[in-house]
Amino acid sequence: MPAELGLAALVLAFAVAIYAAVASLIGVRRKNSALIASARNAALLTFPLLLMSAATLLYGLINQYYQIAYVWQVSNPGTPLFYRITALWGSQQGSLLFWCLLMSLFAFVALLLNWRSYPRLMPYVITYTMVTLAFFIGLSLFLENPFARYWIVPDVSAPNGLVVSNVFIPANAVAPDPTRLAATARGLNPLLRHFGMIIHPPMLYLGFVGFVIPFAFAMAALASGDLTTNWIKATRRWTLIAWLFLSLGLLLGGRWAYDVLGWGGYWGWDPVENAAFIPWLVGTAFLHSVMIQEKRGMLKVWNMVLVIFTFSAVIFGTFATRSGLIDSVHSFAQSGIGAPMFIFWAAVTLVSVILILYRRSRGELKSEHAFAGFLSRESLFVLNNVVFVALALVIFWGSFGAPIASELFLSTDITLGPDYFYTVTVPLFIAMYILMGVAPLSAWGAMSARALGRALIVPLGLTLIGLIFLILSGVSGIGALLGYGIVLMAGFVAIYEISRGVNSRHRATGENYLRAVASIFSRNRRRYGGFIVHLGITVIGLGVIGSTLFQQETQQTLALHEVLRLGSYEMRFDGIDIGQVAEDDRVMDIANVMVIRDGHELASLRPRFDMFPASEGQAAMVMHIPGAYSTLENDFYVLLVGVQPDGRVTFKVYVNPLINLVWWGGIILIIGTLISSWPSQKESTAERVKLRRGKSAAAGAVV
C-alpha cells in the first residue's frame, strides 16, 4: 500500500509540475492572470505531493516493507530506527526523491515569500523551477523509481522463479515471501553509518537545489526583460542560503572522510568532491560580483553568466555523481540517468546563453559605469572573480575535462592525480587570499596606490607580529611562513575593518564599544557578516597549511605497555579487546592506548577495527575507525592497523597540526553567513513597505 500511495503522489507531482510550468508561460504570454494564479497554486502543490511521496517511502523503511526494492537494498531487520530514517537518502532512488522534495520546498518558500514583491518575474520563476523539478521527478519516476517492488515471475531457467523489480505487477507474478525478503535484505552501507554522512548529503542537496532559485530569477529577468537589480535583490538571500548549505555539506564531507576513511586527511581531490566544490567556487564569485552590479550597475552580463555557470555546475555535479561517469568512492551506481541528465544540462546552458546573447544584442545589459582604475574595489572584485572562476575551470579540467578529452581525442585515457591539483590550485588560492586582504580596503570608483598602501599599514604590522610569534613557536620554512603571512593578513584586514567600523560608530554616537559592535552588525549585516566569513576562511586557511605542510606520521607494532613517540607525544599500548559484538552485528577489535605528553597522561583512546560479517549475497567489510586526541594545536590521530599472531598490535599514528582550525573556521564561516543573510532592521522595514506596495500593484495587475 505505501508503494502505491507514494507512486501516485509522485505521478501527480510530475503532472502538476509540468502543468505549472506550461500554464505560467502561457499565462504570462497571454497576460492571463487567472492562469498564472492557477500555475502558482499548482507549483505550490508539488511540495505537499512530494512530501507525501517521501513520507510513504519513509513509512516503508520504518515499517520494513522489504518488498519495496529500495527498502530491501538499504535496510534490514538489524538496522536501527535512526538509520532507517536516514536511509531515505542513502542510495540513488531515495536520494533522488529526497532531492526533488528539497527542490519543491525551496520553490514553495520562494513563491510564498517573493510572489508579491516581484510580480513581473514570478511567472517565469515558476516556469524555470517547475521545468527543473519536473525533469528530476521524471528521472525518479521513469528511470530510478524508489517504489519498484520485487516480484517472482515463472521462468524456465529458474526453478524457483525469477526475481524482478518492477513498479507494477508483472503478468503471473507473485509477491516474494516476506520472511525470506527480511532474511536477505542488505542493510545500509557501513561507510554511511556516521553522523557526518547522515547530514552531509542533505546539506549538499540543499546547497545544490538552493541555487535553482537564483538561477530561476536570473532567467526570469532575461525572459521578462526586467533587467534592473530586482532579480539580484530577490535572490541575494537565496544565494547566501544555498552557499551556506553547500559550505556545510563540503565541511561535513571532509569531517566524515577524516573520521571514517582512516587515511588521516579530509580532502583527496576526488572527482565527486570536486564536483561539489566547483559550484561553491562559482557561487562565491557570484556573491561578490553581484555587489558590483548593485553598487555600480556594472557586470550585468557577467553576473548572468556566473549564476548560469553555478547552476550548470550544480547540474553537472549531480550528473557526474549519479551517472557512473567517474570512478569514485562517492559515486552512486552506474545508472541510466546519465544521458538524460547530460542532455538537460546541455539544454539549460544553451537556452541560458541564447537568452543572454539576445538581451545583450538589444543593448539591455550595458554597464552604467566604466572601470576607473586597477585598484578600485570593482577592479579588485573582478580579479577575485577571475581567480574563483579560474579555480573552478582548472579543477573541472583536472577532474572531468582532461579524462574525457583524452578518451575522445587521444584514444588513450589520461587522469590527473593530486599532483596536478596541488600545482594548479595553490598559486590560485594564494592569489585569492591576497585579494581577500586587499579588496576590502579599496574604495568603489577609484583608489590610489598610496591610499591603499596607507590602509594596509596596520594589517601588515599585525601580520608581522603574527609571523614573529610563529617563528618563535618553532615554525620554519619560507613557504610555510609566506603562506601563513598571506592568510593572516586577510584575517587581520577583516578584523581591522570591523574595528574601524566600531571606532567610528563609537566616536559618532558615543556608544560603548560593545554596543557599537552590535550596532554596526545590525545596521550592515551583509558587510560585517562578510568580514566574519573572511575570518572563517582565514582560520580554515591556517588549518589547511598546518595540517598539510607539517603532518607527521609513523607506523609501529607495539607489545603490551610498549610506547611509541611522535613529535612531542608518546603513546602507550594498554591492551586490546578482541571480538566485541555491537548491536548491528559488527565485530570490533578495540585497542586501548594512552596519549602522553611531557609525562602527563592526557587521554585514553580506543581506535577500532570493525568487521561487518559476510551475509547471504554480501561480502564481509572492514573499517578502521581512528581514535583522536584533539586540541586547537593539533590532533593525535591513531589507527589500529592489525593484530599480529604474537599478540602485538600495529598502529599507524599521525600528528595533524592545526587541523581543528579547519572545522572551527567552518563554524565561523557559517556564523558569518548567517549574520549576512539575516534581514537587517532597515531592510525589513523597506521590505514591508515594498510588500505593501507590491500587494497593491499585484492586485492592480491581476484584477
Of 347, 465, 508, 620, which lies in the binding site for other proteins, with binding defined by CB under 8 A?
Answer: 620
> Whose CA is closest to 43, among 216, 272, 200?
216
CA dist 113 → 116, 229, 431, 691 (Å): 8, 18, 38, 10
Residue 165 is a binding residue for other proteins (CB under 8 A): yes
What CA–CA distance (Å, rounded) separates 431 from 387?
7
Positions 405 through 434 that interact with other proteins (CB under 8 A): 412-424, 427-428
Positions 350 through 369 that interact with other proteins (CB under 8 A): 366-369
Minimum distance, C-beta of residue 409 to other proteins, in the bound complex (Å): 14
Residue 120 or 500 with smaller CB distance to other proteins: 120
CB of 99 closer than 8 Å to CB of 92: no
Residue 618 is a binding residue for other proteins (CB under 8 A): yes
Strands 149-155 and 569-581: unpaired
Residue 551 is a binding residue for other proteins (CB under 8 A): no
What CA–CA distance (Å, rounded) separates 493 from 488?
9
Positions 101 through 130 that interact with other proteins (CB under 8 A): 119-120
CB of 540 closer than 8 Å to CB of 546: no
Cβ-based neighbours of 265, under 8 Å, separated by 6 or more: 257, 258, 547
Enumerate long-range contacts of 18-27, CB under 8 Å, 24 or more apart. 18/130, 18/134, 20/46, 20/126, 20/127, 20/130, 21/126, 21/127, 21/130, 21/131, 21/134, 24/123, 24/124, 24/126, 24/127, 24/130, 25/123, 25/124, 25/127, 27/123
> Whose CA is closest to 669, among 497, 541, 530?
530
Give the range of 81-89, 592-600, 622-630, 658-666 binding other proteins by CB under 8 A: 622-630
CB of 390 closer than 8 Å to CB of 310: no
Contact pattern from residue 253 through residue 292 relative to other proteins, giving x for each residue in contact according to CB under 8 A and a dash for the rest: ---------x------------------------------
Give the range of 103-111, 386-394, 481-489, 585-593 binding other proteins by CB under 8 A: 386-394
Minimum distance, C-beta of residue 532 to other proteins, in the bound complex (Å): 29
Residue 17 or 298 with smaller CB distance to other proteins: 298
Of 33, 184, 522, 592, which lies in the binding site for other proteins, with binding defined by CB under 8 A?
Answer: 184
Of 158, 465, 514, 632, which lies in the binding site for other proteins, with binding defined by CB under 8 A?
Answer: 158
Phi, psi of 631 (to 5 degrees): -135, 170
Minimum distance, C-beta of residue 560 to other proteins, in the bound complex (Å): 16
Minimum distance, C-beta of residue 5 to other proteins, in the bound complex (Å): 22
Residue 644 is a binding residue for other proteins (CB under 8 A): yes
What CA–CA distance (Å, rounded) separates 153 from 162?
5
Residue 695 is a binding residue for other proteins (CB under 8 A): no
Residue 521 is a binding residue for other proteins (CB under 8 A): no
Burial class (CB in 10 A: 0-12, 13-18, 19+), 583: exposed
Residue 74 or 487 with smaller CB distance to other proteins: 74
Neighbours of 168 (CB within 10 A): 10
Give the range of 448-456, 499-507, 513-521, 695-703 binding other proteins by CB under 8 A: 695-703
> Whose CA is closest to 251, among 635, 627, 676, 659?
659
DSSP code for 678: S
Residue 247 is a binding residue for other proteins (CB under 8 A): no
Residue 554 is a binding residue for other proteins (CB under 8 A): no
Q: Which residue has the cell 502538476?
A: 16
Residue 91 is a binding residue for other proteins (CB under 8 A): yes
Minimum distance, C-beta of residue 190 to other proteins, in the bound complex (Å): 8
Residue 14 is a binding residue for other proteins (CB under 8 A): no
What CA–CA distance (Å, rounded) separates 572 from 303?
57
CB of 573 closer than 8 Å to CB of 591: yes
Residue 72 is a binding residue for other proteins (CB under 8 A): yes
Of 168, 169, 170, 180, which lies in the binding site for other proteins, with binding defined by CB under 8 A?
Answer: 180
What CA–CA distance (Å, rounded) separates 117 from 688?
10
Minimum distance, C-beta of residue 406 to other proteins, in the bound complex (Å): 8
Residue 347 or 701 with smaller CB distance to other proteins: 701
Residue 173 or 441 with smaller CB distance to other proteins: 173
Residue 530 or 627 with smaller CB distance to other proteins: 627
What CA–CA distance (Å, rounded) separates 377 from 204?
32
Give the range of 97-105, 309-317, 583-591, 615-623 binding other proteins by CB under 8 A: 615-623
- The size of the chain, in residues, is 703
Q: Is 636 helix (H, G, I), strand (E, B) or coil?
A: strand
Give the three cell numbers for residue 104: 519543491
Of 641, 661, 662, 670, which lies in the binding site for other proteins, with binding defined by CB under 8 A?
Answer: 641
Minimum distance, C-beta of residue 486 to other proteins, in the bound complex (Å): 17
Residue 599 or 700 with smaller CB distance to other proteins: 700
Positions 565 through 594 that interact with other proteins (CB under 8 A): none
Of 9, 252, 493, 639, which lies in the binding site for other proteins, with binding defined by CB under 8 A?
Answer: 639
Identity at 250, one-letter amino acid code: L
Strands 569-581 and 587-597: antiparallel
Cβ-based neighbours of 669, under 8 Å, separated by 6 or more: 247, 532, 533, 536, 537, 540
Positions 315 through 334 that interact with other proteins (CB under 8 A): 327, 329, 331-334
Of 226, 259, 574, 633, which lies in the binding site for other proteins, with binding defined by CB under 8 A?
Answer: 226
Residue 658 is a binding residue for other proteins (CB under 8 A): no
Residue 164 or 594 with smaller CB distance to other proteins: 164
Give the range of 390-398, 437-445, 471-479, 535-543 binding other proteins by CB under 8 A: 390-398
DSSP code for 440: G
Count of chain residues binding other proteins (CB under 8 A): 91
CA dist 452 → 378, 445, 448, 482, 523 (Å): 14, 13, 6, 21, 26
Of 48, 265, 297, 567, which lies in the binding site for other proteins, with binding defined by CB under 8 A?
Answer: 297
Positions 666 through 685 that interact with other proteins (CB under 8 A): none
Residue 69 or 593 with smaller CB distance to other proteins: 69
Which helix (H) or strand (E) segment holds residue 450: the answer is helix 449-472
Minimum distance, C-beta of residue 315 to other proteins, in the bound complex (Å): 22
Minimum distance, C-beta of residue 398 to other proteins, in the bound complex (Å): 7
Burial 493-520 (b: 16+ CB within 10 A, else e): bbbbbbeebbeebbeeeebeeeebbebb
Burial 543-581 (b: 16+ CB within 10 A, else e): bbbbbbebbeeeebbbeeeeebebeebbbbbeebeeeee
Residue 31 or 600 with smaller CB distance to other proteins: 31
Residue 553 or 601 with smaller CB distance to other proteins: 553
> Whose CA is closest to 98, among 213, 251, 247, 203?
203
Residue 447 is a binding residue for other proteins (CB under 8 A): no
Which helix (H) or strand (E) segment holds residue 460: the answer is helix 449-472
Give the range of 251-259, 516-524, 595-603, 617-625 binding other proteins by CB under 8 A: 617-625
Of 371, 429, 664, 678, which lies in the binding site for other proteins, with binding defined by CB under 8 A?
Answer: 371
Residue 474 or 617 with smaller CB distance to other proteins: 617
Residue 262 or 483 with smaller CB distance to other proteins: 262
Positions 186 through 215 that interact with other proteins (CB under 8 A): 186, 189, 191
